[in-house]
Chain A
Amino acid sequence: MHNSIAKKFIVCLFEYEFVFLCPIIKVHTQGKVLQRIKKYVRNNILNPRTVKFAVVGLSGVLVNMGLLYILTEYAHLFYMVSSVIAIEVSILTNFFMNDLWTWKDRVKQSWIKRIIKYHSVSFGALIANWIALVILTEWFGVYYMISNLIGICLGMVINFVLNDIWTFRDSGAKDSLNKVYKKHGDVMKSLESGKIKNRMIFKISGEIVFFLVFFFYLWQWVNPELFYNQQKPVFLTGYNFLYSFLLYPGGIVEYISLLLSQYYYYSWLGAAIITITIWILTVSTKETIKQLFGTQQVYYVHFIPAFFLIIMFSDYHFPLSNVIGLLVSILTFNIYIKLKTQNTYKRSGICLLQFFLLYYISCGSALLFAALCVLYELLKNKKILLSLIYLIIAILLPYISSYYFLVTIENSYLYLTPLCENYAPLIVSYSLYLFYIIIILISSMIKLPVKKTSSDTNVTTKNHWYDYMLQIKLHRIMEPVIVIILIILTAYLSFDFKAKLPLYMDNLAWHGRWKDILKVSTNHGFDDILVTFLTNRALYHEGRLSSEMFAYPQKWGAYGLILPRQLAAELPIQRSELFLELGHINEAEHGAYEALSLKENFPRTLQQLALIYILKNEKEAAEKCLNILKRTVLFKKWAEKYWLYIENKQLILTDPVLGKIYTRMPKTDFIVSSKSPSFDLMELLKQNPDNKTAFEYLMAFFLLERQLDSFISHLEYANLMGYHTMPRHYQEAFLIYRLSGGKLTPKLAQIQISVKTIDRFKEFQKIMKTYGGQFRSAAYKLHSTHGDTYWYYLMSKKAVSR
């Protein structure tokens, strides 16, 4: 035992940076460690091949470190991104060097298979390396190159563990194989190993493809970045933040989920995190099923939770903490059912210890573990008393904990379970938890026949080996193909575009990608007020609000232009961002604080508040917001940039965005109107007549509210806005105002109604006339010809779904 561990560890020390391509032959030596090491050194390390792979391994370290430094320092990539690239490149260089140099003499499989194998083994090490790098750098302030070196060392250890439990594991299949070897000699041996290899390849390939589909679906369609905006609270580095999560059951799982889900900010990384989590859950489920049914064959049943989860992640509400809670519960149950001891006292002691720990770590999720243990002991082991004890403790522990922790009785049972979450597809999340219960119930009712190993089958039926291979192949191909088709189908059916659109547009707005908003703004999204609001904002930014606003549905009227106060609880930050742009600084602050109350320390809100306080010249308040952002992983650099603005007012004035806002801020106080935003817009415009945002929003407001008198009476401000031609909707409104007998005559410099507008209006009148002046009858026709005009909007019903 010690021999193999020592050997494996030494191998892994080298292997992390250049994972073995060829199977390692086990050397079972007995005796003292020193002798074994000596023997190992003689047999392996002094071997030219060993020297080669040591050189390759070392080169991998250099490539990893060198590339990390170059990409970070010279290419100015964020070191977390550089690291991922550096690790991957080092794995690839190691692979090719080993392939072309260390083992060039070997007959090999196709290079794709080899590279996949290589990655699958080094994946754990890769993740460990990267996480260590981030944690050491961000939390402990270690220089990132040193963190990386430590990460590499940690990767070696992880690699060792993975190899120990996976690559070099003594599998049941191999035992069976060994039996056959003994019976049928070398020929059989080679045939059987080929079959097992083929089977494994299909299985692994199936799983890889499944999770690749999963990953790409999440990355490209679901886009985890959109989850990021719903995360609360934001993850902060430092002990104080961690400590607050240690004070209640479930806090640890929540902390880990926050740590991981902050990387949703990078969509691909978020997708990878979710995929890996679900992959681990799938593997744990598989192990559980194997144990419960006493079989090696699970027929892809273990993929069922992944199917449920893909549905749940498609609706943008399911929190990662629930998945992690579920995962730790299943992993703990796995450990429990693998206990070899049948001693009731020992079993119950271990179970209770597990339950207490698990409850503290994952709160309500631990009840699934308890339920599984109760059923397992009751149905599988027929231990009624033990299961009863488990049941009583499972019921009592949360209740008692509600006396010691700051949780309500309800939350002491339900926290981190779907029952605690208030979102729609509850049936799916219940099903996810019920799945495990059902599995254990079925396992107690039916006993699967232990599948004969292929070698046994061969021996007893005397089939020719290639007949069997053909049989196996088809079977093995079909299984993953069906599962993959199913995952694609599930993803397709569960994907909720309507849920995604507002979130996606909102995310684009946060990053100021206005052109992209207009690209994705689609008709069927306009039932959502946020879609309308963001489309209007994007139109303004693209200079098209006054000429193309009515080309987009305006079902929400003025509410779709300026979100009403009633929605302040739902969309506070969006209101705040608009008000900041208008220069309505205190209302921006108001909105930002509402947002902060709803999502504590959310970066977008803190950024907004920091900018507000920089503009208001409230230095200490700005510093507070930036100090918090400095403790986040992702917004540290942003905070450092704006820290300079606090000291140097000139930077504000020269900043293209802040400079503009600064000049628009109210010069004298007025009371913010709770009746209509138009009063505030008028006041802002009065104080800063060149505030184009306020002007265009005010005019749009009047148009949407059909207040033509007010529109005309403020039109003179257009003279100050630098228009070369009067915006189309203004022309349309002006025309209709004059034709309907409006008497006000604004003094407009060099602004005229174009011939084209007059012609279109004539056409509009003509169509109306054709339909007897009845707009209702003409609406369909007019929608196709004049649906983008103010006339059409004005004539259409005030069907604003408020």
Chain B
Amino acid sequence: MKTYHKYIGIIIILIIIIIIMMFIIPGKAFNPDAASLIQRMPDIDPDYTDIILPPNIAPLNFKIKEPGNNFYVKIYSEKGEPVEINSSTPKIEIPLQSWKKLLAANKGQEITIKIYAETDDGNWNEYRQISNFIAEELIDSHLAYRLIMPAHNFWNEIGIYQRNLENFDESPILVNKLTDNNCMNCHNFKNNDPDNMVMHLRGGPAGGTLLIRNGQTLKINTATDFNQAGAYPSWHPDNNRIAFSVNNLTMFFHAKGTGRDVLDKESDIIIYQIESNTITTSPKISDPQRMETFPCWSPDGKYLYFCSAPMLQSFVYLRDDSTEDLKYDNIRYDLMRVAYNAENNIWGELETVLSSSETGKTILEPRISPDGRYALLTMASYGNFPIYMTDSDVYLLDLDKRVYKRLDINSDRSDSFHAWSSNGRWFVFASKRRDGVCGNAYFSYFDQNGNTGKPFIMPQEDPEFYDTFFRNYNVPELIKGPVKSTPQQLARIAGNKEILNAVPDPVLNALKRKGNKHTDAKTTIE
């Protein structure tokens, strides 16, 4: 060995020693017995206190919002090794593997978080323990959602993403920078199955509806002479039908309060029959005198639930001789359902499940629980776009008893776009409670009696993630695994000029001949 190599070796060893010392030296030795007890729970962000959490959820990393120079956190339960974290910053990042082991070993048990903080004088404060509960039931492993900036008229980057809830991996399903920056959303899965997915891409050469069925992807055009392209979708459990709403949405703005508002000038529901590539409908779900939207099949496929309001013209009145005014804030939707026989394609009785006149609120976004007993709904003071309504809340309707209640999970900001997990024990919803600007995904436990757990925000690796993340989590949907198609594959199919044009079936043609297609209602809102 050459002489100077020795010197280099010595220098490297010294550097390593210094680095090791840097980790060893900080702070006084921690002695939990000497800590002074503070008789309250510590303030942590996100709020992961008093919650019921899935046994397969990723670590609930958080930031301690208490003064301190060093922090010690102990997470433990009845069985297994406790997780201990020493941190010189208030950001607590829980090791993934230790966390998973702890949760797996303690299903149905309480999990406790003890937090200690070292003050300026070198003493330690101990806060009252945080107690959470680990549920027995798993949550679906993935969450699919759209990420978009809080847009008004314009948008830039949009993407449909999926997040592995068991860790922090997020991957795109499709992003619009691969599809000429067009708009994309309205994604839906058949019974939480990632192999059966539909999503709509609006505008540009890549525009159309992407249909992933049993892992095979097709690009279809659901627009016909009768209808525009389908928007809000719902898969029929027979895997051969998708109900779409056809909407004519327009945005308008308020001078005070929440600025944005949306008006649906007309809407219908159509059914796309996959195997025959046909579009059909029925006057029951496409009544010219009413606006139907937000279709949702019952899990057994025997009923189609949807929301319906009188046509827009009914809300227009004359202010004086020359001016028309639209009472947009009187528009309220009822919850309806219609029986359906998929085998014979026969529509049954139409019935009002819950009337807006009964609730005094507009009823939107019905989602039926996997056991068919409950419906989660969104209600707001008026209209059909709850994401912009600060008073929109998630409600639960017992379909057997026809009793509804406002859930405790709600906040004083927009809570909407809920979706069930495949086992019906969890649901996710989008809430703007954190800052009023961006909708985030919140999870809540749902027990057999219709009781819910305190909602908690989707955990992120960086505890400060939500402080600066300027995107909305739109239409969160729980799925049992990842969507396997890559964004590149989907983008190529979307960008392909070949598109399967859906054909109107005889029913639709008959309606067309009768001239039942809606014309735009004239409004004074614009």
Contact = CB atoms under 8 A, between A and B. Distances in A.
A671 interface: yes
Contacts of A581: none
Nearest to A569: B154
Contact of A627 (B154, B156, B260, B467): B467
Contacts, number: 116
Contacts of B257: 586, 669
Given A596-B470, A624-B468, A631-B468, A406 B177 contact: yes
B255 A598 contact: no
Contacts of A585: 255-256
A621 B468 contact: no
Contact of A623 (B3, B254, B467): B467
Range of interface residues on A (Cβ < 8 Å): 35 or more
Interface in B436-492: 436-438, 462, 465, 467-468, 470, 486-488, 491
Contacts of A672: 252-255
Interface string B110-151: 000000000000000000000000000000000000000111
Contacts of A598: 154, 156
Nearest to B155: A597
Given A406-B177, A586-B256, A600 B468 contact: no
Contacts of B78: none
B496 to A, nearest CB: 13
Given A624-B437, A675-B526, 11 more contacts: A406-B172, A407-B178, A569-B153, A572-B154, A585-B255, A593-B149, A618-B435, A618-B436, A624-B470, A666-B255, A680-B255
A671 B153 contact: no
B467 A669 contact: no
Given A594-B154, A597-B149, A402 B252 contact: no
A184 interface: no
A22 interface: no
B254 A586 contact: yes
A477 to B, nearest CB: 48
B435 A620 contact: yes
A670 B255 contact: yes
B4 interface: yes
Closest 10 CB pairs of A and B: A620-B435, A586-B259, A669-B256, A672-B253, A597-B154, A627-B467, A621-B437, A666-B255, A666-B256, A593-B152
B184 interface: no
A584 B255 contact: yes
Contact of B3 (A33, A236, A568, A586): A33
Given A406-B178, A598-B156, A627-B468, A2 B255 contact: no
A379 interface: no
A683 B255 CA distance: 10
B491 A408 contact: yes
Interface string A224-262: 000000000000100010000000000000000000000
B88 to A, nearest CB: 12
A138 B388 CA distance: 37
B521 interface: no
Interface string A662-693: 00011111111011000010010000000000
A623 B434 CA distance: 11
B500 interface: no
A590 interface: yes
B37 interface: no
B254 A671 contact: yes
Nearest to A589: B259
Contacts of B256: 585-586, 665-670
A248 B154 CA distance: 25
B336 interface: no
A601 interface: yes
A528 interface: no
Contact of B153 (A402, A403, A568): A568
Nearest to B467: A627
Nearest to A33: B4
A142 B434 CA distance: 31
Contacts of B434: 620
A628 interface: yes
A170 to B, nearest CB: 23
Given A623-B435, A627-B467, A671-B525, A594 B152 contact: yes
A628 B149 CA distance: 14
B387 to A, nearest CB: 14
B153 A594 contact: yes
Contacts of B75: none
B3 A596 contact: no
Choose among B255, B436, B525 the residue with the greatest number of A CB atoms under 10 Å from its CB. Answer: B255
Given A596-B149, A624-B470, A669-B257, A674 B252 contact: yes
A759 B526 CA distance: 46
A593 B150 contact: yes
B64 interface: no
Choose among A402, A620, A623, A631 the residue with the greatest number of B CB atoms under 10 Å from its CB. Answer: A620
B175 interface: yes
Interface of B: 3-4, 149-157, 172, 175, 177-178, 252-257, 259-260, 434-438, 462, 465, 467-468, 470, 486-488, 491, 525-526
A600 B491 CA distance: 24
Nearest to B491: A408
B149 A600 contact: yes
Nearest to A684: B255
Interface in A602-630: 618, 620-621, 623-624, 627-628
Interface string A558-601: 00000000001100100000000000111101100110111011
A34 interface: yes
Contacts of B468: 236, 624, 627-628, 631
A672 B257 CA distance: 12
A670 B525 CA distance: 11
A631 B470 CA distance: 14
Nearest to A672: B253
19 contacts: A2-B4, A236-B468, A240-B465, A407-B177, A408-B177, A585-B255, A586-B254, A590-B152, A590-B260, A593-B151, A596-B149, A597-B156, A621-B437, A623-B435, A624-B437, A624-B468, A669-B254, A671-B252, A674-B252
Given A406-B172, A406-B487, A569-B154, A621 B255 contact: no
A40 B414 CA distance: 75
B259 A34 contact: no
A720 B175 CA distance: 54
A32 interface: yes
Nearest to A592: B152
Given A408-B178, A569-B154, A624-B470, A32 B254 contact: no
A206 to B, nearest CB: 42
A427 B149 CA distance: 36
Contacts of B467: 623-624, 627
A584 B259 CA distance: 11
A669 B470 contact: no
Nearest to A35: B3
A669 B255 contact: yes
Nearest to A408: B178
A403 B488 contact: yes
B435 A621 contact: yes
B382 to A, nearest CB: 13
A597 B252 contact: no
Nearest to B492: A409
Contact of A590 (B156, B259, B525): B259
Nearest to B486: A403
A596 to B, nearest CB: 6
Contacts of B436: 618, 620-621
Contacts of B153: 568-569, 594
Contacts of B152: 590, 593-594, 597
A601 B150 CA distance: 12
A407 B487 CA distance: 10
Nearest to A683: B255
A671 B329 CA distance: 12
Given A403-B488, A620-B436, A623-B435, A240 B462 contact: yes
A494 B96 CA distance: 58
